[in-house]
Amino acid sequence: MADYHDDLRLAHVLADAADAATMDRFQALDLKVETKPDMTPVSEADKAAEELIRGQLQRARPRDAILGEEYGVEGSGPRRWVIDPIDGTKNYVRGVPVWATLIALMEAGETGFQPVVGVVSAPALGRRWWAAKGLGAYTGRSLASATRLGVSQVSSLEDASFAYSSLSGWEEQGRLDGFLDLTRACWRTRAYGDFWPYMMVAEGSVDICAEPELSLWDMAAVAIVVQEAGGTYTGLDGRHGPHSGNAAASNGLLHGELLSYLNQESPEA
């Protein structure tokens, strides 16, 4: 098995640099925010953080490709770093502390590119999570000060906590009825949003979560953390990994039921 210790250490260095840049502009009164063609916001901090990470990667891993939300793909080859400089930009620009920098390394294999290293750093929450293939998943302040993560053992939906982002996407896809049925079947539901529910699944504080529409940079880092914590991460189609344009994550015990509910077709669909 490949040794990803050096890549993981580099990902932490990248996250440290990004944290300093994003926190410096968080809640700044003169923060510049633009609207992208897809009508989502992008701040100067998003761009600066991605530029910073790209610059360090070009020096430290010049042969690796890079895919980032703000500046697209650069390079090619069997290794690709995937970056979301600020996951939760809408929170960031409103001063809500629930946002994170997502950094993943993906490698080509028999099933296509799959994440092998992931760091999720949420400096405004004072939290960081990370994982590498075969090395487990952890949370803490640093590699030297960390607690290993493990998913819950909840095996019944009536005892399960379900986290999600919003209702609109489920309705647009004709999945709202199944989504609502799932919320009724669960013990507890909360709309935490963005990266956070997946980290809660990895920690065992939430049992299932799902989102109807996502990009690769939203998913690559969180997928490996969930998987290395003992959980299951798929698309709504059941395909393993971050390639389906949407996501379902669980402790593994509830994954079949999670997908079954969310794939119910609404009468009007």
pLDDT, tens digit, 9 for 90 and up, residues 89-144: 889 888 999 999 999 999 998 888 999 999 999 999 999 999 999 999 999 988 88
Q: Is CATH 3.30.540.10 the right assignment for the domain spanning 4-148?
A: yes
In the chain, where the domains are located: 4-148, 157-263
Is the pLDDT reported for residue 267 higher than 60? no
Better pLDDT: 176 or 29: 176
CB 246 within 8 Å of CB 147? no
pLDDT at 34: 77
* Run of H or E residues at 21: helix 5-25
Question: In 3D, which of 24, 6, 225, 191 has the Cα closest to residue 123?
Answer: 24
Nearest CA to 166 among 155, 158, 157, 175?
A: 175
Torsional sign, CA 122, 245, 233, 228: negative
pLDDT value for 93? 86
pLDDT tens readout for residues 197-237: 999 999 999 999 999 999 999 999 999 999 999 999 999 99
State the burial class of residue 44 (Cβ atoms within 10 Å of its Cβ: 0-12, 13-18, 19+): middle
12-48 pLDDT, tens per residue? 999 999 999 999 878 777 778 877 666 677 778 889 9
What mean pLDDT value characterizes the chain? 92
Q: Tens digits of per-residue pLDDT, 46-95?
A: 899 999 999 999 999 999 999 998 889 999 999 999 999 999 988 988 89
At residue 266, the pLDDT reads 53
pLDDT value of position 36: 66
Length of the chain: 269
Instruction: Write down the pLDDT at residue 1.
Output: 61
Distance CA 214, CA 121 (A): 19
Question: What CATH code is assigned to 157-263?
Answer: 3.40.190.80
